[in-house]
Amino acid sequence: MSDSAETLRAAASADSGPLRGLWLTVLTADVVEAVLTAGAVVTEGIGWIGVDLQHGALEVSDLPGLLRVCRVPVLARTASGDPAHLARVLDTGVAGVIVPGVGSGSEAAALVAACRVPPEGRRSTGASRSALVGGPARPLLLPMVETREGLAAVEEIAGCAGIDGVFVGPYDLSLSLGRPTVADPEVAAAISAVAAAARRHGILAGAFSGSRSLEPLLPPLDVVAVDTDVSALRLGLAELFDAP
C-alpha cells in the first residue's frame, strides 16, 4: 500500500493552492462508499477526508471501514491527546492525526513521544490493522492551535521536532480570543500568524473553514477542511427542493 501520508504531504506542497478536504462527523463507511465513489462529478476537488472523533458521532471503530472506501488520505481529529487514544487511532492506519487543544511546546513534545516509535518516541508496535495492511510508516502529526495559549506558544509548537504541521481551529480560537466571529480581523490575523510560523519552520499549515465567507480571509494554507458532511447534506437538500 502506498504511504497516504506522503501522498498528502506531496499534494499539499504543490503550487496549485490548498488541498481541500471534507470533514466527516456523521457519515459511516457505507454512505461514504455510495457517495464519494460515485464519480468525478462528486469527488473532484476532494483531496483528503477528515474524521472528527472529538465532536462528531463517529468512533475509532468506524475508521477501518472508512479507510477501506475512501480513495484519498484520511486524517482523524482525535478526541484528545491521550497517548492510549492516539495509539488506537494510529493503529487503524490513518494518514495522520489532528490533535485538539495543544497549548504549549511541551504538550507538542508529548504528542511526538506518543505518536512516534523509538527512538523518536515511545509508541509501541503490534499486530494492528496499520501494521497488517501496510499503513503509513510515519503518520502525519498536526497539533491544533485553537486557544489563546496555543497562539502565544505557536513558535514552540511549530518548532517542535517531530511535528509535521499545525492546524487552526478558528471557531474555538475566536472564542478563546473573545472575538464575536471568525471573520473578526483579530482572528484573521491570528490564523495568519500560525501559518507564518509554520512557514518559518518548514511544516504544513492547515485550518478548518466551515464557511464560504471565511475562506477568502484565510492566508495561503496547505490543507483546508472546507466544510462538514452535515453542511454538505443541508446544501444538497436545499438545492434539490429549491429546484423547479
Count CB-CB contacts under 10 A for residue 104: 16
Residues 6+ apart with CB under 8 A from 111: 81, 86, 99, 102, 141, 143, 163
Which single residue is written with the C-alpha cell 499486530? Answer: 127
Using pLDDT thresholds of 50, 70 and 90, give the confidence band for residue 10: confident
Structure confidence at residue 43 (pLDDT)? 59
What integer is the mean pLDDT of 110-117? Answer: 97
What are the tens digits of pLDDT across the range 52-89? 999 999 999 999 999 999 989 999 999 999 999 999 99
Positions annotated as catalytic residues are 55
Q: Give burial (CB, 10 Å; 0-12/13-18/19+) of 179.
A: middle
The neighbouring-strand residues paired with 227 are 22
Answer yes or no: is pLDDT of 127 > 80. Answer: yes
Tell me, yes or no, if the pTM score tops 0.75: yes
Percent of the chain's residues with pLDDT above 90: 72
Structure confidence at residue 3 (pLDDT)? 63
Residues 6+ apart with CB under 8 A from 87: 114, 123, 124
What integer is the mean pLDDT of 218-233? Answer: 91
What are the tens digits of pLDDT across the range 208-223? 998 777 778 888 899 9
Using pLDDT thresholds of 50, 70 and 90, give the confidence band for residue 40: very low
Crossing angle of the two packed helices 83-90 and 105-115, in degrees rounded to 10: 50
What integer is the mean pLDDT of 97-120? Answer: 97
Domain boundaries of the chain, sorted by first residue = 4-242
Answer yes or no: is pLDDT of 154 > 90. Answer: yes
Give me the amino acid identity at 195: A
The domain 4-242 is placed in CATH, from the list 3.30.1540.10, 3.20.20.60, 3.60.20.10, 3.20.20.210, at 3.20.20.60
Structure confidence at residue 36 (pLDDT)? 72
What are the tens digits of pLDDT across the range 156-182? 999 999 999 999 999 999 999 999 888
Structure confidence at residue 15 (pLDDT)? 64
Q: 198: phi > 0 → left, psi -120 to 50 → alpha, else beta; which?
A: alpha
Answer yes or no: is pLDDT of 146 > 60. Answer: yes
- Which grid coordinates belong to 157? 509548537
